[in-house]
């Protein structure tokens, strides 16, 4: 017998939301990176004002950087939680 709490099964809304989130997150990063690259090349070809183009490119790539930073933070927290679970499993078998 285990000491873990019993959790109720997830409803279809929660499962659907999780599935959409897991599917959409990687594609958001790919689309944002691709569109930023295309926008940078398009601005290099049709530059009206270098200052406006530089400001747009900086804002565009800052947004992409924020997306990748948030993904790295999410993965780091997930790894930390997994490590804490593994340590708890190991420590559960020992007695003091």
Confidence of residue 42 (pLDDT cuts 50, 70, 90): confident
Mean pLDDT of all residues in the chain? 80
Q: What's the domain count of the chain?
A: 1
Confidence of residue 1 (pLDDT cuts 50, 70, 90): very low
Structural domain contains residue 50: yes
**Rounded-to-integer distance, Cα 60 and Cα 91, Å:** 47
Structural domain contains residue 83: yes
At residue 96, the pLDDT reads 54
The C-alpha torsion from 70 through 72 and 77 to 80, rounded to 10°, is -170
At residue 33, the pLDDT reads 83
**Rounded-to-integer distance, Cα 50 and Cα 58, Å:** 12
Structural domain contains residue 69: yes
Q: Is the pLDDT of residue 72 over 60?
A: yes
Structural domain contains residue 3: no
Instruction: Give me the domain span that covers residue 46.
Output: 18-92
Structural domain contains residue 8: no
């Amino acid at each position: 017998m285990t000491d873990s709490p019993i959790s109720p099964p997830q409803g279809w809304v929660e499962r659907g939301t999780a599935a959409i989130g897991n599917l959409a997150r990687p594609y958001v990063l790919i689309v944002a990176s691709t569109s930023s690259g295309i926008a940078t090349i398009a601005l290099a070809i049709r530059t009206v004002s270098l200052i406006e183009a530089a400001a747009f490119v900086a804002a565009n790539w800052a947004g992409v950087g924020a997306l990748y930073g948030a993904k790295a933070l999410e993965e780091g927290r997930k790894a930390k939680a997994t490590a804490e679970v593994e340590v708890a499993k190991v420590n559960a078998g020992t007695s003091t």
